[in-house]
Homo-oligomer: A and B are copies of this chain.
Amino acid sequence: MFGVTILGNNSALPAYDRHPTAQVITLNDRLFLFDCGEGTQMQMNRYKIRRSRIQHIFISHLHGDHYFGLVGLLTTMSMSDRKVPLHIYAPKDLELIIKLQVMASDSRLPFDLFFHPIQEAGLLVDDPNFSVSCFKVYHRIDAWGFILKEKRKPRKIDAEKVKEYPFIPLSFYERLQNGEDYIAPDGTVVKNEAVTYANVPSRSYAYCADTIFEPSIAEQIKGVTMVYHEATYLKDLEERAASRHHCTTVQAATIARLACAQKLLIGHFSSQYDNDKLYLFEEEAREVFPNVQLALEGVTYEV
Contacts and interface: CB of A to CB of B under 8 A. Distances in A.
Among A38, A45, A97, A141: residue with most chain B CB under 10 A: A38
A63 interface: yes
A140 B105 CA distance: 9
Contact of A72 (B64, B80, B91): B64
Contacts of A42: 14, 19, 38-39
A69 interface: yes
B62 A104 contact: yes
A64 B71 contact: yes
Oligomeric state, in number of copies?
2
A75 interface: yes
A138 interface: no
A100 B106 contact: no
A125 interface: no
A29 to B, nearest CB: 24
Nearest to A142: B106
Contacts of A105: 62-64, 141
B13 A69 contact: no
A140 B41 CA distance: 24
A80 B45 contact: no
B100 A104 contact: no
B141 A106 contact: yes
Contacts of A14: 41-42, 45, 76
A107 to B, nearest CB: 8
Contact of A100 (B17, B41, B93): B93
Chain B CB within 10 Å, residue with most, of A63, A65, A72: A72
A90 to B, nearest CB: 10
Interface of A: 12-15, 17, 19, 38-39, 41-42, 45-46, 62-65, 68-69, 71-72, 75-76, 79-80, 91, 93-94, 96-97, 100-101, 103-106, 140-141
